[in-house]
Amino acid sequence: MLETPDPQSPAPQDASTKPRRMWLIDWLLILTVVGALGLDQISKQIVRSTLRLGEAWPADGFVRLKHATNSGSAFGLFQDQTMLLIAASFLAVGFLIYFYRTHAAPRRLLRFAIGLQLGGAVGNLFDRMRDGAVVDFIDVGPWPIFNLADSSIVVGMAILIGLLILKDGRKDEGRPPAEADDETRVPDAPVHDR
């Protein structure tokens, strides 16, 4: 017997519409991106308005705020390659959006990690497009000066890598152990009857 669909029951969801809808209502991702981007841009504006370029507060110390600019990428690589770095930033943002849409839907921590990376990447992209360089201001010992966008990207990447490692570890737990070579194989302990 052929059943007719009930007009009052909701239509079945097509699998192709679910990721799209997820993108539109994912408040965790949206709030993380906006928060990381907003804190980055506000902190850079405060540094620009309170410290002259090259000025540090306090003047000495292991941790300082120091107004600097960087026309390169992380660690000062690719100096004065603004167009290349802008293109790379657009590619990175595109990849993160693709990765989100294909992998992150059910996992909150993964969505948070992607949001941190997107917010940081867009924050530095804004600086490059507007000024040709990013504002850096967090000066910790011998470490290169960085900003909140850089921090968001690094923390997001660390979370992402940690989740991927945990996921691989869980896959391995379900597999039987590989057979050892005959030379390294430990013989089974003898069973004694008592």
Which residues carry out catalysis?
Answer: 136, 150
Distance CA 87, CA 75 (A): 18
Note whether 129 and 100 are within 8 A (CB).
no
Q: Is the peptide bond before 58 cis (omega within 30 degrees of 0)?
A: yes
Question: Can you give the three-state secondary structure of 122-191, one letter per residue?
Answer: HHHHHHHHHHCCEEEEEEECCCCCECHHHHHHHHHHHHHHHHHHHHHHHHHHCCCCCCCCCCCCCCCCCC
Distance CA 109, CA 115 (A): 10
- Contact partners, residue 153, CB within 8 Å, separation at least 6: 116, 117, 120, 121, 124
Give the max Cα distance, the chain.
85
